Structure 1
């Protein structure tokens, strides 16, 4: 899987979406989210909730395009979040990937518009088809230039249940769209 694809071409280029602060970057110190939570068996996610930024959205399966880049939900459904259905299910061992639009071609905010404002310690809840809720705690929020997107770091697995949320961010070019991606790193810390 490659990254750095433009998630949506926007007309909101005059007003950039929020960017994460340097304080939200991955830390080399001990990870406070390393609680012993057993991975869940695979089950499709159906809804994502991020109370800190007002997200409460349905989820849909997405795949890869012909170039191997992660697809997004249709631009006509900016409030829908996608998850990489050929990969790890959220809550299972490995790295689950979710994506969503930062904004829309007509200028409105997308489901992940405020992703860059998330802070370490925020929670992300994913309701699954098996009626369990996987609760993740944010470990970091980073902004990466599309041309230097660290695929191994973002998509790589530690073997424990983790989640990455990805959307567009940074500067905007009328020719190519957003120049960066916001990536949220989160670890499973509870199951309900």
Structure 2
């Protein structure tokens, strides 16, 4: 079953304990000879939104039960505007895209002059609790690198900043990068709920000249700076 939309509050993947799994089919990536897809994961299961989100006006916090784990602090919801990654000289507007009618992720359209990165609007806004998902091209029809061409150069500890519509900024610290074959994409690891605010930057990798396709996805994992 393919959802028309996904809950932003619970993130693209809420707890599977809900027992309601929906199939979200994501597009692959095209090779340099065609207009490339943004880096998107090949299939992700999502469940009903049952994980805790972060309301715009949080209610008064109840005293935690004895021995209960304290969740990391997060920000209220606010749509992302720009992404800046100084260490790889990236500054891009963030367009907001959802799902196609067939359930695949919409991707930025490249007219040949490069395309900005996009925020999947079914995921939490950057700074909210859960994994916020950003997609970007690795290449461009004009032969130049795409906005996420240098994700592999990011190392743990690098900072990136998302400016938000409410005037605030969310600063994230890179934890790690990982390469995944599309047919073995770890859906839950990438899209699963997180106790704090996290960011996922996704692009294509593993170009196969014989097929003109990218066989892999490269994912950057980052966590909101305390």
Give TM class, smaller chain.
0.7 to 0.9
Report the Cα distance in structure 1 between the residues aligned to 2:206 and 2:218, rounded to whole angstroms: 8
Q: Which residue of 1 aligns with 2:27?
A: 5
**How many pairs align?**
167
Which sits farther off after the overlay, 105-114 or 72-81? 72-81
RMSD, aligned CA: 2.1
Contact 2:82 / 2:94 at 8 angstroms: preserved in 1? Answer: yes
Question: Whose radius of gyration is greater, 1 or 2?
Answer: 2
Superimposed CA distance per residue, residues 62-103 of structure 1 (whole angstroms, 9 cap, x where no aligned partner): 112344332221122634010011220000011100001001
Q: Which residue of 2 aligns with 1:105?
A: 141
2:90 corresponds to which of 43, 46, 55: 55
Structure 2 unaligned segments of length 5 or more: list them: 1-11, 13-23, 35-70
Report the Cα distance in structure 1 between the residues aligned to 2:93 and 2:27, rounded to whole angstroms: 22
Q: Which has the higher contact order (CA 8 A, sep 6+)?
A: 1
Q: Which residue of 2 aligns with 1:64?
A: 99
Q: Which residue of 2 aligns with 1:84?
A: 120
Taking structure 2 as the reference length, the TM-score comes to 0.68
Q: Does 1:40 align with 2:75?
A: yes
Structure 1 unaligned segments of length 5 or more: list them: 13-35
Q: CA deviation at 1:134?
A: 0.2
- Secondary structure of 2:225's counterpart equals strand
- Secondary structure of 1:72's counterpart equals coil
Relative to structure 1, is the Cα distance of residues 8 and 43 closer, same or farther in structure 2, using a 3 angstrom cutoff? farther
Report the Cα distance in structure 1 between the residues aligned to 2:225 and 2:156, rounded to whole angstroms: 13
Q: CA deviation at 1:117?
A: 1.2
Q: Which residue of 2 aligns with 1:25?
A: none
Superimposed CA distance per residue, residues 128-155 of structure 1 (whole angstroms, 9 cap, x where no aligned partner): 0011110000001011111111111101
- Secondary structure of 1:153's counterpart equals helix
